[in-house]
Amino acid sequence: MLIVDSQIHIWQNGKMSSHHRQDATYSIADAVAEMASAGVDGAVIHPPSAFGEPSNAYAVEAVRQHPDKFCILGHFDLQSPDRENIVAHWHERPGMRGFRFTLSEPHQKSWWTDGSLDWFWAASEKADMRIGLLASGANIAALGSIARRYPGLKLHVDHIGRGGGRAAEKDDAIYADLPQMLALAKLPNVAVKLSGAPSTSSEAYPYKNIHGYLRQIIEAFGPERCFWGTDITRMPISYRQCVTMFTEEMPWLKGRDLELVMGAAFVQWLGWKRPAAA
Q: State the Cα–Cα distance between residues 68 and 186, nearest whole angstrom.
A: 33
Report which residue type is found at 74.
G
pTM beyond cutoff 0.85: yes
- The distance from CA 79 to its chain's CA centroid, rounded to whole angstroms, is 23
Q: Are 150 and 193 in contact (CB under 8 A)?
A: no
Residue 141, burial from CB neighbour count under 10 angstroms (0-12, 13-18, 19+):
middle
Q: State the Cα–Cα distance between residues 169 and 188, nearest whole angstrom.
A: 29
Of 14-28, 217-231, 239-253, the least confident: 14-28
Q: State the Cα–Cα distance between residues 224 and 142, nearest whole angstrom.
A: 23
Compute the average pLDDT of residues 69-75.
98
Percent of the chain with pLDDT over 70: 99
- Tell me: the pLDDT tens digits for 147-200? 999 999 999 999 999 998 888 899 999 999 999 999 999 999 999 999 999 999
Percent of the chain with pLDDT over 90: 92
For the cut 90, the answer to whether the pLDDT of residue 278 exceeds it is: no
Higher pLDDT, 18 or 276: 18
Tell me, what's the pLDDT at 245? 98
Report which residue type is found at 174.
I
Q: Transcribe 151-187 into DSSP letters.
A: TT-EEEEGGGGTTGGG----HHHHTTTHHHHHGGGGS
Q: Are 71 and 95 in contact (CB under 8 A)?
A: yes
Higher pLDDT, 13 or 219: 219
CATH architecture, domain defined by 4-270: Alpha-Beta Barrel (3.20)
Tell me, what's the pLDDT at 258? 98
For the cut 60, the answer to whether the pLDDT of residue 43 exceeds it is: yes
Tell me, what's the pLDDT at 166? 80
Bond into 206 cis (ω within 30):
yes
20: CB partners within 8 A, 6+ apart:
9, 165, 233, 234
Compute the average pLDDT of residues 19-46.
96
Tell me, what's the pLDDT at 140? 98
Q: Where are the domains of the chain?
A: 4-270
Q: State the Cα–Cα distance between residues 268 and 185, nearest whole angstrom.
A: 18
Q: Are 212 and 12 in contact (CB under 8 A)?
A: no
For the cut 90, the answer to whether the pLDDT of residue 19 exceeds it is: no
- Tell me: the pLDDT tens digits for 192-236? 999 999 999 999 999 999 999 999 999 999 999 999 999 999 999
pLDDT band of 277, cuts 50, 70, 90? low
Residue 126, burial from CB neighbour count under 10 angstroms (0-12, 13-18, 19+):
middle
Compute the average pLDDT of residues 241-270.
98
Left, alpha or beta for 140 (phi > 0: left; psi -120 to 50: alpha)? alpha
For 171, the enclosing helix (H) or strand (E) is: helix 171-174
Query: What's the mean pLDDT when you consider all of the chain?
Result: 96
Tell me, what's the pLDDT at 46? 98
Report which residue type is found at 129.
M
Tell me, what's the pLDDT at 110? 97
